[in-house]
Amino acid sequence: MPQKQFDLIVFDWDGTLMDSTSVIVKCIQAAAKDLGLPIPDDRSAAHVIGLSMFAAMEAVLPGIDPQYYPRMVERFRYHYAILDQEPALFSGAVEMLNALSQEGYFLAVATGMSRVGLNRAMDNAKLLSRFDATRCADETFSKPHPAMLHELTRELGQEMGRTLMIGDTTHDLQMAINAGASALAVEYGAHDAASLHKLAPIYSARNLNELHQWLIENA
């Protein structure tokens, strides 16, 4: 196996490890409908995935009365609580994480989810003990601010130059750029490949099998 270029691999959660994009889109649209607000189309709703909850609602429905944003968050959480048994990890995700752990990489998660939401999802997937550190949007600044990566590298005693951020949105890739980490895109999540490629990731995986293979051969 070639010499490692990275010691810490940081994953986004929704759309990267968990197949939850369609569920999140449905919940954003349902929240808007509940409040009699314009219902964003699928593309607009998917584009804000990865941001913190309040930032996502502000981005998907700009210009509305600000009083609606907390109510949008409340209604989103209501609908997600009903549908949160629907999302599942992408096939092969557990095997990939196990293989990377066995190779000695530090593994972390940086997500726009809340702490409660991430812990529940990780517990359901039996992955609570697989990651060395995690950071959620309700604990620090939202992506694409670099705070999550700064905090994770400090917590784990790792160098930013040997840190790889993997995500399915431009928010993930821009966070890596802002922090000085390397960025790798996956094309099977919320943002289209063309948008991801504009940020020049070191690799862009079309599916999780390609991601796994690249990491084992190149990370």
Write the pLDDT tens digit of every residue in 40-78.
999 999 999 988 889 999 999 998 999 999 999 999 989
How high is the mean pLDDT of the chain? Answer: 94
Alpha-carbon gap, residue 36 to 1, rounded angstroms: 57
pLDDT computed for residue 140 by the predictor: 96
Alpha-carbon gap, residue 81 to 212, rounded angstroms: 31
Q: Name the token pair of 83.
A: 């549908």
Measure Cα distances from 24 to 6, 46, 48, 119, 216 in Å. Answer: 31, 8, 10, 17, 30
CB atoms within 10 A of CB 159: 12
Percent of the chain surpassing pLDDT 70: 97
For residues 130-138, give the mean pLDDT. 96
Query: Domain 8-19+89-218 in CATH: superfamily?
Result: HAD superfamily/HAD-like (3.40.50.1000)
Query: What is the DSSP-derived secondary structure letter of residue 118?
Result: H
pLDDT category at 85 given cuts 50, 70, 90 is low
pLDDT computed for residue 201 by the predictor: 98
For residues 126-152, give the mean pLDDT. 96
Measure Cα distances from 167 to 67, 69, 75, 149 in Å. Answer: 31, 26, 26, 13
Catalytic residue of the set 12, 19, 168, 172? 12
pLDDT above 80: residue 15: yes
For residues 186-201, give the mean pLDDT. 96
pLDDT computed for residue 33 by the predictor: 96
pLDDT category at 160 given cuts 50, 70, 90 is very high
pLDDT computed for residue 3 by the predictor: 83
Catalytic residue of the set 7, 14, 19, 168? 14
Q: Where in the chain is the domain with CATH 3.40.50.1000?
A: 8-19+89-218
For residues 185-197, give the mean pLDDT. 96
192 noted as active-site residue: no
Cβ distance 199 to 177 under 8 Å? yes
pTM confidence score: 0.86
For residues 18-47, give the mean pLDDT. 93
Q: Where in the chain is the domain with CATH 1.10.150?
A: 21-83
Residue of 157, 150, 184 lying closest to 11 (CA atoms)? 184
CATH number of 21-83: 1.10.150
Cβ distance 137 to 53 under 8 Å? yes
pLDDT above 60: residue 199: yes
105-118 core/surface letters (b: 16 or more CB in 10 A; e: else): bbbbbbbbbbeebb
41 noted as active-site residue: no
Torsion of CA 18, 91, 179, 193, to 10 degrees: -90
